[in-house]
Amino acid sequence: MWIKAVSQPTLGKMTSDYKRFSGNDMFALYPQLKTQREGAGSFEAEQTSSAKRLAVWIRERKPGYSLPDYQLSAGAWTLMHSAKPGMGLLSWTRVSISTPAELETHPYTASPEEMASTVKTAARLYGAGLVGIAPMNEAYVNCQAPQPDPQSKQDRQPIDIVFEDVDVPLVTATKRVIPKKMKWVVAIAIPMDIDLLSRAPTSLGDAATALGYSHSAFVVSSLAEFIRGLGYQAIPSVNDTAQSIPFAIDAGIGELSRLNKLVTPEYGPAVRLCKVFTDLPMAYDKPIDFGLVEFCKKCKKCAEACPSRALSFDDAPSFKTRGPWNNPGHEAWFEDSYKCFEYWQRVNSGCGVCVASCPYTKGAQAWIHEAVKATASIAPTTDGVFRVMDNAFGYGKQHDPEKWWTNDPPSGGRG
Amino acid sequence: MTMMYEGGTLTIITRKRPWWQWVLAFAWLLSEVLLLQTALASMKEEEYRAGSICWIALIILATAGVIAWLRQRGFRWPDESGREH
Could you report the per-residue pLDDT of A343-375, keeping only the tens digit for each? 999 999 999 999 999 999 999 899 999 999 999
Q: What pLDDT sits at residue B75?
A: 77
Q: What pLDDT sits at residue A151?
A: 55
Q: What pLDDT sits at residue A34?
A: 95
Q: What predicted TM-score, i.e. pTM, was given to this entire model? A: 0.91
Domain assignment present for B13: no
Domain that holds residue B54: 18-85
The one-character DSSP state at A242 is B
Domain assignment present for B1: no
Gyration radius from chain A CA atoms: 21
**Burial category of A156 from C-beta neighbours within 10 Å (exposed 0-12, middle 13-18, buried 19 and up):** exposed
Give the three-class secondary structure for A345: helix
For residue A24, count other CB atoms closer than 10 A to its CB.
Answer: 16
Alpha helices in A171-329 (DSSP H): 194-197, 203-229, 244-250, 292-299, 301-305
Q: What pLDDT sits at residue B39?
A: 97
Domain regions of chain A by residue span: 4-391
Length of chain B: 85
Closest Cα in chain A, distance from residue B74 (Å): 35
Closest Cα in chain A, distance from residue B41 (Å): 5
Single-letter amino acid, residue A392: A
Q: What pLDDT sits at residue B81?
A: 60
Q: Note whether B48 contacts A: Cβ–Cβ < 8 A.
A: yes
Closest Cα in chain B, distance from residue A181 (Å): 47
Of B34, B41, B49, the CB nearest to A394: B49
Q: Note whether B2 contacts A: Cβ–Cβ < 8 A.
A: no
Rounded to 10 degrees, what is the CA torsion of A142, A143, A145, A147? -170
Distance CA A356, CA A197 (A): 6
Contact A310, A339 (CB under 8 A): yes
Q: Report how many Cβ contacts below 8 Å link chain A to chain B.
A: 36
Residue B45 with chain A: CB contacts under 8 Å: 194-195, 363, 365-366
Q: What pLDDT sits at residue B71?
A: 87
Contacts of A315 (CB under 8 A, 6+ apart): A297
Structural domains counted in chain B: 1
Distance CA A346, CA A54 (A): 9
Domain assignment present for B10: no
Residue A366 with chain B: CB contacts under 8 Å: 37-38, 41-42, 45
> In chain B, which residue's Cα lies nearest the Cα of A397?
B47
> What are the average pLDDT values for consecutive 10-residue runs of chain A, which has 415 residues?
94 90 86 94 96 97 97 96 91 96 97 98 98 97 80 67 96 94 98 96 97 97 98 97 97 98 97 98 98 97 97 96 93 96 96 97 94 96 96 96 89 67
Do the chains contact at B44 and A365, CB–CB below 8 Å?
yes
Contacts of A146 (CB under 8 A, 6+ apart): A23, A28, A156, A158, A159
Confidence of residue B73 (pLDDT cuts 50, 70, 90): confident
Domain assignment present for B23: yes
Closest Cα in chain A, distance from residue B7 (Å): 54
Q: Which one has a higher pLDDT value, A271 or B85? A: A271
For chain B, the maximum distance between any two Cα atoms, rounded to a whole number of angstroms, is 61
Of B38, B46, B48, the CB nearest to A366: B38
Distance CA A54, CA A63 (A): 12
Distance CA A144, CA A169 (A): 15
Q: Residues B6-65: pLDDT tens digits? A: 778 888 877 788 899 999 999 999 999 999 999 999 999 999 999 999 999 999 999 999
